[in-house]
Amino acid sequence: MRDQLGDPRFFLRAGPFSLAQVAAAAGAEAPPAAQERELTGVAPLQNAGPAEVSFLHNRKYLPSLEQTGAGAVIVANEFAARIPPGVAALVTDDPHAGWARVAALFHPVPPMVPGVHPSAIVDPTAEIDAAAEVGPLAVIGARAIIGPGCRIGAGAVIGPGVVMGRDCRVGPLASVTHALLGDRVYIYPGARIGQDGFGFAMTRQGFLTVPQLGRVILEDDVEIGANSSVDRGAALDTVIGAGSRLDNLVQIGHNVRLGRCCVVVGQAGISGSTVLEDFVQVGAQAGLTGHLRIGTRARIGAQAGIMSDVEAGAEVVGSPAMPVREFFRNVAVLRRLARKPVGKADGRNDT
């Protein structure tokens, strides 16, 4: 059975659209002779039919491109000549971004249903814009401010004093406290924003919890993945910079500061008071100790253990982390040693 992209049971469908309309969305030029061709949806190269749009952004899939039955393909100029006859080439500098816009054209976000569900619990001092949507069993705390176009999912909790800008989305069963959100912030289901950081003093009698008196600041266009956790600051705010994306199951400790457009991949953890400058990438399951500074555009590999500052632009991997080339040189040396016969490494033969 063919995989169905955009199953109508789950995804809103729009269209059909002319090739010219699709090209405009992709930021491409439509072939003049085919501008009125009608397209009804999107599909991967290997499955697409003559009324569907596909794309190529990885040369690994060139064989699929050469055999595709799509009506049009979004593609970089260097691969346009590989498109089969009869398939319209939509040439753009960034096919992946073009695909994102075209997929959104055919499958737009479901329309808002403004208003507060009767089962929601809303404190009388909360301010909810008339253009916002509050789902069933959601809880909106005292003095919270929910901006226009916001969507609060079923069972979500928005704590007292939280401020949300325009067009934010909070998924089902997520919770947001002690936080200020910019515009177009998306908090996925089950995420936890603004809870106490992991802060305590050690006394002779045991642990003494230290009050966490900071906030969480989520700037414009931030996304927080499902079941991720962002602790509020202890003495300073925890800040996630504009455009940054956190994957699912990410832990951000108190006082952490991410710059613009950082990416933190699933199951990674960043300890308190660490600073990531702009455009840092952190791989899956990486761990960063506290009070570090990670420079602009640094890249941290999956499962890396970061115990010291990382310079701007550096690429590190391993635990403890080291530059990528050094890491693989070490791996090569260990492999050579492992291949030597037992007893020959130091010139002796113990047999």
The pLDDT tens digits of the residues spanning 71-117 come to: 999 999 999 999 999 999 999 999 999 999 999 999 999 999 999 99
pLDDT confidence of residue 343: 60
Contact call for residues 26 and 92 (beta carbons, < 8 A): yes
Tell me the β-bridge partners of 91. Answer: 29, 75
Residue 56, pLDDT above cutoff 90:
yes
Average pLDDT over residues 181-199: 97
Alpha helices in 112-223 (DSSP H): none
* Contact (CB, 8 A) for 247 and 226: no
Residue 313 has pLDDT above 60, yes or no: yes
In tens, the pLDDT along 206-222 reads: 999 999 999 999 999 99
| Residues ≥6 apart with Cβ < 8 Å to 39 | 15, 16, 17, 18, 19, 22, 51, 52, 53, 71, 72
Selected residue with higher pLDDT from 341 and 246:
246
Q: What pLDDT, on a 0 to 100 scale, did the predictor assign at position 297? A: 98
Residues 162, 141: Cα–Cα separation, whole Å: 8
* Residue 254 falls in the annotated catalytic set: yes
Task: Tell me the percentage of the chain whose pLDDT exceeds 70.
Answer: 96
The reported pLDDT for the residue numbered 36 is: 83
Taking alpha carbons only, the member of 37, 38, 47, 39 closest to residue 5 is: 47
Q: Tell me which H or E stretch contains 72.
A: strand 72-75
Q: How far apart are CA 348 and CA 351, in angstroms?
A: 9
Q: Which of 57, 96, 107, 254 is catalytic?
A: 254
Q: What is the pTM of this model?
A: 0.89
Q: Would you call 73 helix, strand, or coil by DSSP?
A: strand
Instruction: Dump pLDDT digits (tens) for 136-147.
Output: 999 999 999 999
Confidence (pLDDT) at 351? 47
Q: 33-47, 133-147, 155-169, 240-254: which range is least confident on average?
A: 33-47
Q: Share the mean pLDDT of the chain.
A: 93
Measured distance CA(67)–CA(316) in Å, rounded? 39
Residue 310 is given by DSSP the state B
- From the list 55, 48, 45, the residue with the least C-alpha distance to 94 is 55
Encoded tokens for 34:
């085919």
Structure tokens at 239: 């800040």
In the chain the domains, ranked by start, together with CATH numbers, are 17-106 (3.40.1390.10), 115-285 (2.160.10.10)
